[in-house]
A and B are shown apart, each in its own frame.
Chain A
């Protein structure tokens, strides 16, 4: 019984305001040959699913990924921002247009708010070797109105 009370107390502490502070679970996007990619959705309204097909320190070009999410916004235009940090200092900031009016790169471009999207395919990335260490990655997908479509806090551990 004491244990239950403690559990309840812990639950109450972890859920201030009855659900407002709930965080999405941390998922594993891939874990293989010395490389581990973990992510957590930072969109307060929804989680999303993401995985990378081959995971290795020697990251191949044109990786295949899978993701599934519900669109909160129309994505006629969609942009991708990535910020890479290690030990609190920024290494790389990058922005990439995924869907544009005059160039919808992917088949999912132009889909509408409320649609469930599942994508399994290439991402057209360059190949590179990941140096050993732990990295924090902030990923953000947003549309032309700067409305969030997806947001993730990821951790990359290379050992």
Chain B
């Protein structure tokens, strides 16, 4: 009994081992771009597979197993420009690893437990621009070999054990634009630390998640930075004092849900008076004494982001904020729009009040002093109004972009946006609109180019709905319904002849009249996906040429031969996810499909639904031989018919002849 069991065990072990070998050699890298870009992630590879061509330029090799990398590891792939070695369990980077890789510009070593990088391990690339050493266990910046970093533009050192940003004296920084020290243990910044970054110009320095406790006074004296990020700092006054006499384009001082922070008092923002900042972000902070004096050092500011700062109102009578161009007040607690006291910011061009925590009442004329406003975002605010929007958005003569998406129902009358005649983009997606027939709410928006009306529950039978939009190029009507699921000959699109992009996806359409799109002559994209259209609806596009046509996820079984020329004249067509017929009754279409395969998109998902043996087979793989074509059948029937007639005549004649004999 023993022997067979042992052999069984052996067999099982061998079998399992065999299986493993097969699976690992079976797995091949995915080709992203022929001979150039490959993805080999998560394949458990221990070396570069032989299947990769020598011409490979972009190689995503993360989550494999390369404990040691040396000059033989990648030697074959000398054209590499981008190499991602994230989490390959690399311990050692030996001498001259990238010696022959002159084109290499990006090396990603994130998440590798590096023990040592040889002095010459990064030598070779002529212009190494981006180096990612995130979470590699670095505690001392001397760890990074400096010999070939002259061209470095970004250095990522996040999530390490670094305590000082001071770069080694011979560290080349002249081309450095991004220096990322996120989530390290840096608590103090000294004058020497900042001086070590000196040759770099317009540097972005990220110290997010480091909790800076002190900055040596004068450390930032006459220093210029593009971006400085001190996100998650407990006491922002430490930062603002430390940045004295600096010039900063953008300063990020926000905090997070999971971080403790000290409430900001007006006194803590005093430091802003001693520096020059264009843009500041204070997201998620609490303010202890919010008043007009809070802003006394904000006079030079151009952009202010107060996202989720628990604001119920902005104080009235703020003075000297004439230069503010962009104000972000998303995710706060306003009841009424007038509570932002917009008059304090007369130069504002961009205003964002998105995702208010309470139902926002637009009031009347709350923004009327913002004559320069170009962009206004009021989305996700539960705004409700029975008669919008002339009173609410009074006097915004230069408004170009208005977002009112994701709100409660709005009632629109004719010329509902008369106060903003310069509108170019209007987004009303997912906001139910009540428009009485035959009102034209968008009348006189002479410059409107983009109108998003998706999921607005529109009354599409109103033929005047889109009247007065001479320049409209992009119209999104996704998710709106048409009476009886059909677009008739006369419809609301007839007034928008300048359309270039039309989206009618998910509209439950069953049919489109042949002449429904007749007025649309400039169109170059029509999206009719996710409807219940059949092949006959294609006839509505007969006058259009060279368009992108999306017919995915419809109910197309058979495409009649008479619409094939209409498809042929378009540039790109998507017919995926349709119940296509792969029998001889659809042979003309199937032949056409093969001949026009270069025009078709979504080939992987364009499969047969019928006949049952071919269900799920890609149309491009179907080989059908239909012995007799329809014409053939016709001639056969005619032939048989003639034969029968001839036969009857013959029989008649024979019988007559026979009877005559008697």
Footprint of B on A, CB under 8 Å? 1-2, 4-5, 8, 11-12, 15, 17-20, 45, 70, 72, 102-107, 109-116, 119, 121-122, 124
A113-B86 in contact given A5-B8, A18-B16, A103-B307 (Cβ < 8 Å): yes
Contacts of A70 in B (CB 8 A): 87, 111
Distance between B304 CB and nearest chain A CB, rounded to angstroms: 13
| Shortest distance between the CB of A141 and any CB in chain B (Å) | 16
Do A102 and B328 touch (CB < 8 A)? yes
- B256 and A112 form a contact (CB under 8 A): no
Judged by a CB distance under 8 angstroms, whether B198 is at the interface is no
Across the A-B interface, give the 5 residue pairs with the lowest CB-CB distance, nearest first. A18-B19, A121-B258, A114-B86, A114-B111, A114-B110
Cβ-based interface call for B209 (8 A)? yes
Further pairs besides A102-B307, A107-B231, A112-B158: 14, Cβ < 8 Å: A1-B1, A11-B12, A18-B19, A45-B42, A72-B63, A104-B254, A111-B158, A111-B159, A111-B182, A111-B183, A112-B132, A114-B86, A114-B111, A122-B257
Instruction: Decide if B330 touches A102 in the complex (CB within 8 Å).
Output: yes
Interface string of B70-113 (1 = CB under 8 A from A): 00000000000000001100000000000000000000101100
Cα-based distance from A51 to B134 in the complex (angstroms): 26
Give A15 to B110 CA distance when docked, in angstroms: 33
Determine the distance from Cα of A112 to Cα of B160 in the docked complex, in whole angstroms: 13
Q: In angstroms, how far is the closest chain A Cβ from the Cβ of B10? A: 11
Would you call B20 an interface residue if the criterion is a C-beta within 8 Å of the partner chain's C-beta atoms?
A: yes
Please list 5 pairs of residues, one from A and one from B, whose beta carbons are closer than 8 Å in the complex, sorted by A's number.
A102-B307, A105-B257, A107-B232, A109-B256, A112-B134
Q: What is the bound-complex CA distance between A8 and B9, given in angstroms?
A: 7
Closest to A8 in B: B12
Query: How many inter-chain residue pairs (CB < 8 Å) link A and B?
Result: 100
Give the number of residues in B that approach A within 8 Å (Cβ atoms): 46
By DSSP majority rule, is chain B's interface helix, strand, loop, or mixed? loop
| Cβ B5 vs Cβ A5 within 8 A | yes
The distance in angstroms between the C-alpha atoms of A8 and B259, with both chains bound, is 51
Whether the pair B182, A110 counts as a contact (CB closer than 8 A) is yes
* Residue in B22, B110, B111, B258 whose CB lies within 8 Å of A106: B258
Residues 1-22 of B at the A interface (beta carbon under 8 Å): 1-2, 5, 8-9, 12, 15-16, 19-20, 22
User: In residues 205-234 of chain B, which contact A (Cβ within 8 Å)?
Assistant: 208-209, 231-232
Residues in B neighbouring A2, C-beta threshold 8 A: 5
Q: Which residues from A are CB-within-8-Å of B63? A: 45, 72, 114
Answer yes or no: B56 CB below 8 A from chain A CBs.
Answer: no
Q: A17-B19, A110-B182 are in contact. Are A104 and B12 (CB under 8 A)?
A: no
Residues of A within 8 A of B8 (CB): 5, 8
Q: Is there an interface contact between A105 and B328, defined as CB atoms closer than 8 Å?
A: no
Q: Do residues A110 and B208 form an inter-chain contact, with CB atoms below 8 A?
A: yes
Q: Which of B232, B307, B308, B328 has the most CB of A within 10 A?
A: B307
**Chain A CB within 8 A of B25 CB:** no
B5, B254, B328 — most chain A CB neighbours (10 Å): B5
Quick check: is B170 within 8 A (CB to CB) of the other chain?
no
Kindly provide the distance from the CB of B45 to the nearest chain A CB, expressed in whole angstroms: 15
Which residue of B22, B134, B258 is within 8 Å of A107 (Cβ)?
B258
Given contacts A5-B8, A103-B283, A103-B308, contact A18 B256 (CB under 8 A): no
A17 touching B5 in the complex, CB below 8 Å, given contacts A112-B158, A115-B135, A116-B135: no
